A and B are shown apart, each in its own frame.
Chain A
Amino acid sequence: MSTETVTARPVVDGARLRAWLPRYGVYAAIVLLVVYNIFFTPYFATWSNLRIQLIQVAPIVIVALGMALVIGTEGIDLSVGSVMALAAAFIPLYLGYGVVAAILVALLAGVAVGLINGVLVARVGLQPIVATLALFVGGRGLAVVISEGKLVDIRNADFLYLGSGDLFGIPVLVWIAALMVLIVAFVVRRTVFGRRLLAIGGNRPAAELAGLPVKRVLITVYVVCSVLASIAGLLSVARIQSSDASSVGLLIELSAITAVVVGGTPLTGGKVRVLGTVAGALLMQLVIATMIKHNLQPSTTEMVQAVIILIAVYVARERKTR
């Protein structure tokens, strides 16, 4: 039935294009942008530029991975930026006990926030957007209180290595992000948890009736998302070499959601595109970089981002025929 609704002109097969675009459109856009930049942007195709771009995009990718999982369950997590702030606030407090202790505390903060979000969504039955809004507001507030509103410089060399060190010529930050991508892709494809997550997002009543532990899976998803956000938070602190709870991860929830959506993961749940999400983050990073290199106003950049989001949502919109 659905194929009849698309009446394409003979030149372009409309139906096939519409199936192709949401899946591969983001990669095509990246290729286009890279080609453009190679020809028209001075110093674009240099190692140092690539390095900067990758370092900048790494935290967004990590947060977006968790966001993609949550969106796969038909949810959303607005609190990721606040989780980054909380992680950032705890780091200087616990670095005295060693790098490992500080990282563990930051991750625990993520687990705690994730548990609260997950319980509110799965057990209390709140809408994800409302449930996570609570900690979006409260989490950063708490982080500012914990850090007493101060910007703290970090000088622990071991910790800073995470943010500015290199391994085999590639920034540690990028290695960590890549590792997370691999793990999340593996989890989605190969684990019981990943498959259950997709089933719950695809049809929650059916998943419940099939006897799946729906609540447990949902809570776990929110915990995973928050832990990924806290990793992004501590890496950001290590990169900028200071902890400022009022600015770390500000508005990152929007960048993450954008990356997920542009990458072709539908907001209606039941599907998670891990590589698409990475590509979505890269695309947005490239757009911003291109704009900056051509001396366009930040406001213009924002408008272009908005257009890209609209295109992505339009291309991916659900066919209502079925």
Chain B
Amino acid sequence: MALLEVIDVSKIFPGVRALDQVSFTLQPGEVHALVGENGAGKSTLIKVLTGVYQPDGGDVRYLDQPVQFGTPMDAQRAGISTIYQEVNLVPLMSVAQNLFLGREPRRFGLIDRGRMEHQARAILTDYGVSADVRRPLGTLALGAQQMVALARAVMIDAKVVIMDEPTSSLEPREVQTLFGVIRDLHSRGIGIIYVSHRLDELYQICDAVTILRDGKLVHTGRLADLERIRLVSLMLGRDMAEVRREGATAFSGAATGDVEATPVLRVRELNSRHKLHDVTFDVRPGEVVGLGGLLGAGRSETIKAIGGAYHLDSGDIQVDGKDLRKPTPVRAVRFGVAVQPEDRKAEGIIPGLSVRENIALAVLPRLSRFGFVSDRKVDEVVDRYMKRLQIKASGPDQVVGDLSGGNQQKVLLARLLATGPKVLLLDEPTRGIDVGAKAEVQSLIDELAAEGLGVVLVSSDAEELVEGSDRVVVLRDGVVVGTLTGAQVTTEDLMSTIATEATREH
């Protein structure tokens, strides 16, 4: 008897098929990996299973009964518990209170605090949490909080536990404790849906795997039967033959970097707790260096850290031979580093301001005198970049929020270029923009490199990465696991490097 069955479930948002007839089955006592890149539909599927979203088509069967959870509370009562990346408990209440919230042991109608704390201590010992259960939950380490959430989920008679990237903030020791708990749940017949991008973990504890891409099911089956390289290519790749036919990108493919030149960007041993471990690479003028890897491998973190917008514990960054110590965004811009963040809307454009204001924003001091902005100088700059990037707007005064995604991205790039950078760090420059704009942005990257800029390119689109980059530095779990150069810069090599087993040197 299957524990949970998803049959042909679809979910449609305006303009997007987030889930397109996805099916999979969870057996009792099974640890089922759910994998896929950004936008593959994992979170949508989880939200359908937990009653946050209602499916637009298809059935969900639970314990052989068709079910339709109206709210997350319904799903929880039925025995489907979810542990999110961000712990969803009450940080200011004590550990014990969190554990028993809503089901406190009572005596004479009052909460029996002594018994509650005693029980909490006993339960949490099994989860490797030895902290004082009277302390507020928020004072515990994130890993310990996650264990409390897990213990709580299991306590409320969960039959299905969904874990969304549970190890992303855990220490290696805590990961082992978590795996111990998972094995215990497994032996008790509880079904687990395990979302993670860490392949080593998946192969350690998962029995089955379901792979989603662009809202569609691309594979489901036993994990042991699936080679790593195959798993990675299913997650990332389209069919190679199909790609060649279509001619995937607008990159010229000609190598532009001068191998002899001194690097314009030198990155040495960047470390950030849990996220980056000794990340080291160079970018020479005119070179496009791709950062490869799966989601959560540390690509965006690396880029943001260089741009001063992500915390670093240690590491050295040199731009054009000068030490960029303690980078902050202000200092990074001054050193000639320009960062195009992954999330254009949240961190890139300023939607309420005009194209003009957005482009000029970062260089206002240069376009003004004694603090007074010179309209003439602003117009010159704005005009130059609107032409160069072929920004399609009704005029420089149009509000950026009203433009298409592709044009918003161009406005953002125009702002970066206006600062006259030496190094351009691009995080998913073509995500969510239409095909035409995509080709334009890709050719622009080529052009800029040809003009002597050092470019770092992050893209989840394997073809874009391979065709756009002269070299690809491959990251996994925050560690550089390989560099592809010359003839190695192919999607096949990229995937096999991502898929190689970790040797855990750190």
CB within 8 Å of B: which residues of A?
Answer: 1, 190-193, 195-196, 198-199, 202-203, 205-213, 270-271, 322
Contact = CB atoms under 8 A, between A and B. Distances in A.
A213 B365 CA distance: 11
Contacts of A270: 350, 352-353
A202 B346 CA distance: 10
Nearest to B309: A209
A210 B357 CA distance: 12
Interface stretch (B142-150, B204-212, B228-236, B328-336): B328-336
Contact of B309 (A191, A208, A322): A208
B178 to A, nearest CB: 32
A198 B353 contact: yes
B341 A209 contact: yes
Nearest to B344: A206
Given A192-B365, A195-B357, A199-B357, A207 B350 contact: yes
Contact of B334 (A198, A202, A206, A211): A211
A198 B399 CA distance: 13
Contacts of A210: 329, 333, 361-362, 415
Contact of A195 (B349, B361, B419): B361
B386 interface: no
B352 A195 contact: no
B57 interface: no
A212 B347 contact: no
B347 A209 contact: yes
Contacts of A192: 364-365, 368, 371-373
B373 A203 contact: no
A68 to B, nearest CB: 15
Given A270-B353, A271-B352, A322-B401, A193 B371 contact: yes
Contacts of B350: 198-199, 202-203, 206-207, 270
B346 A211 contact: no
B357 A211 contact: no
Contact of A205 (B307, B346, B365): B346
Specify which of A192, A195, A199, A209 lies most central, judged by the most chain B CB atoms within 10 Å of its CB: A209
Contacts of A206: 341, 346-350
B351 interface: yes
Nearest to B348: A206
Contacts, number: 80
A26 to B, nearest CB: 20
Contacts of B362: 210-212
Contacts of A205: 346-347
B425 to A, nearest CB: 11
B377 to A, nearest CB: 12
A202 B352 contact: yes
B45 interface: no
Interface string B319-340: 0000000000110111000010
B309 A190 contact: no
Nearest to A207: B350
Interface in B367-387: 368, 371-373
Given A205-B347, A209-B309, A213-B330, A191 B371 contact: yes
Nearest to A186: B372
Contacts of B368: 191-192
B351 A211 contact: no
Contact of A196 (B348, B351, B364): B364
Contacts of B371: 191-193
Contacts of B346: 203, 205-206
Given A198-B350, A198-B352, 18 more contacts: A191-B368, A192-B364, A192-B368, A192-B372, A195-B373, A199-B357, A203-B350, A206-B341, A207-B361, A209-B329, A209-B347, A210-B333, A211-B330, A211-B332, A212-B361, A270-B353, A271-B352, A322-B351
Contacts of A211: 329-330, 332-334, 362, 419
29 contacts: A1-B14, A190-B372, A190-B373, A191-B368, A192-B371, A195-B373, A198-B353, A198-B357, A202-B350, A202-B353, A203-B346, A203-B349, A203-B351, A203-B352, A206-B346, A206-B347, A207-B361, A208-B329, A209-B341, A209-B347, A209-B348, A210-B333, A210-B362, A211-B330, A211-B332, A212-B361, A213-B330, A270-B350, A271-B352
A196 B415 CA distance: 14
B329 A202 contact: no
A209 B353 CA distance: 16
Nearest to B358: A199
A144 to B, nearest CB: 36
A45 to B, nearest CB: 40
Contacts of A199: 350, 353, 357, 361
A198 B364 CA distance: 13
Nearest to B375: A190
Nearest to B402: A322
B285 to A, nearest CB: 22
A270 B361 CA distance: 13
A213 B373 CA distance: 17
A-B pairs, 7 with minimum CB distance = A211-B333, A202-B350, A270-B352, A192-B364, A203-B350, A202-B352, A210-B362
Specify which of A193, A202, A211 lies most central, judged by the most chain B CB atoms within 10 Å of its CB: A211
A267 to B, nearest CB: 13
A224 to B, nearest CB: 13
Nearest to A211: B333
Nearest to B349: A206
A172 B484 CA distance: 74
Contacts of A271: 352
Given A196-B364, A205-B347, A191 B372 contact: yes
A211 B362 CA distance: 7
Nearest to A198: B353
A203 B350 CA distance: 5
A191 B375 CA distance: 10
A243 B364 CA distance: 43
A207 B364 CA distance: 12
A112 B292 CA distance: 51
Interface in B403-426: 415, 419
B485 to A, nearest CB: 31
Nearest to A187: B371
Interface in B1-55: 14
Specify which of A198, A199, A212 lies most central, judged by the most chain B CB atoms within 10 Å of its CB: A199
Contacts of A322: 351, 401
A272 to B, nearest CB: 11
A202 B349 CA distance: 9
Contacts of A202: 350-353
B401 to A, nearest CB: 6
B298 to A, nearest CB: 18
Specify which of A1, A210, A322 lies most central, judged by the most chain B CB atoms within 10 Å of its CB: A210
Nearest to A189: B373
A199 B359 CA distance: 11
Contacts of B307: 209
Contacts of B349: 203, 206
